[in-house]
């Protein structure tokens, strides 16, 4: 079956649906492009606890990527990870995620402040995402404990997100006796979510799993600078103290970095603006870039 007006087939999964799309496209002589944006090795090992099974599964999915005509990645670190997994061809292009322009609703800002008892003159740290182990939420809680009880910083830590694992995180918070931590649960209202970015002072996201998540772009759109872990994929395009902050994978060292930057209001403002300049790209521009990079040789 030949379908009119198809330019190319684009897959986002190397599993069943991706394999089906690849097979169909090859049979009908359409070029196939894939987007690589997940740390499959971490996923496979988390669930199998076996290096051998992880290696077999990686080899299996890489057959899909290697049989595509081109592969899209989100940054240089993501590209390096793709080759580490077993990519064998050179047709790999870097195209970041985009975002639709959004303006902060001041009414929503006031709702956030009132409903979640946010203090006006207190530093606010923000995490947005699924509350899961791979996003290093336990590390965040340990940093919060360090900042409060060792550095005696007056601040509020806001977790926006949910998952069954959140109960374990809440137990950790209670164990430390942290009364400055706020869990909002999942928030799907984009205006409400933007309000959290607008009221926060620093986006804390030491995830070892993410590559270029939308939350990084959403925070940047509101000129909220983020701090990330060194040598992670998400930090691959972050320049420390320029368009973001990078901390070491150590609770005290990471906490010291947060403590250092959070009190420099002008630096936060400058880095937040640069993050917006570097990471916020409208979706229509991303589409144009994608067509040029994928179809420029047609």
Residue 10's H or E segment, with its range, is strand 9-11
pLDDT value of residue 90: 82
Q: How many CB atoms lie within 10 A of CB 255?
A: 21
Q: Which two tokens stand for residue 153?
A: 């910083």
Domains of the chain from N-terminus onward: 9-98+282-295 (3.40.50.2000), 106-279 (3.40.50.2000)
**CA atoms of 225 and 267, how far apart (whole Å):** 10
Closest of 133, 165, 162, 127 to residue 43, by C-alpha: 133
pLDDT value of residue 91: 85
Torsion (CA) 228, 231, 235, 240 in degrees, nearest 10? 70
pLDDT value of residue 296: 66
53: Cα separation from own chain's centroid? 27
Give me the residues paired with residue 161 across strands.
Answer: 185
pLDDT value of residue 7: 82
pLDDT value of residue 4: 66
**CA atoms of 47 and 249, how far apart (whole Å):** 23
Q: Which two tokens stand for residue 174?
A: 């209670």
What pTM did the predictor assign? Answer: 0.90
Residue-wise pLDDT tens for the chain (298 aa)? 556 678 889 999 999 999 999 999 999 999 999 999 888 998 899 889 999 999 999 999 999 999 999 999 988 899 999 999 999 888 899 998 899 888 899 999 999 999 999 998 899 999 999 999 989 999 999 999 999 999 999 999 999 999 999 999 999 999 999 999 999 999 999 999 999 999 999 999 999 988 888 999 999 999 999 999 999 999 989 999 999 999 999 999 999 999 999 999 999 999 999 999 999 999 999 989 888 887 765 5
**CA atoms of 230 and 207, how far apart (whole Å):** 10
**CA atoms of 298 and 285, how far apart (whole Å):** 20
pLDDT value of residue 211: 84
């Amino acid at each position: 079956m030949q379908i009119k007006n198809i330019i190319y087939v684009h897959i986002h999964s190397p599993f069943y649906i991706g394999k089906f799309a690849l097979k169909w496209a090859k049979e009908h002589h359409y070029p196939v492009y894939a987007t690589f944006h997940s740390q499959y090795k971490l996923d496979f090992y988390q669930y199998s606890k076996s290096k051998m099974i992880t290696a077999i599964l990686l080899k299996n999915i890489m057959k899909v990527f290697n049989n595509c005509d081109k592969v899209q990645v989100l940054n240089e670190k993501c590209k390096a990870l793709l080759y580490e997994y077993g990519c064998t061809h050179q047709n790999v292009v870097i195209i970041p995620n985009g975002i639709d322009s959004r303006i902060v609703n001041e009414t929503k800002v006031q709702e956030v402040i009132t409903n979640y008892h946010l203090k006006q003159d207190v530093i606010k740290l923000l995490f947005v995402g699924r509350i899961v182990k791979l996003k290093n939420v336990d590390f965040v809680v340990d940093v919060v404990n360090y900042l409060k009880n060792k550095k005696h910083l007056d601040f509020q830590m806001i977790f926006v997100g949910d998952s069954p694992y959140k109960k374990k995180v809440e137990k950790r918070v209670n164990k430390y006796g942290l009364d400055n931590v706020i869990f909002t649960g999942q928030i799907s209202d984009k205006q409400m979510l933007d309000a959290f970015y607008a009221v926060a002072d620093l986006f804390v996201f030491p995830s070892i799993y993410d590559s270029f998540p939308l939350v990084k772009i959403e925070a940047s759109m509101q000129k909220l600078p983020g701090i990330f872990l060194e040598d992670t994929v998400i930090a691959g395009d972050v320049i420390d103290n320029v368009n973001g902050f990078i901390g070491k994978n150590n609770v005290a060292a990471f906490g010291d970095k947060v403590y250092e930057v959070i009190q420099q209001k002008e630096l936060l403002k400058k880095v937040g603006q640069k993050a917006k300049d570097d990471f916020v790209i409208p979706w229509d521009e991303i589409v144009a870039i994608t067509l040029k990079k994928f179809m420029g040789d047609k």
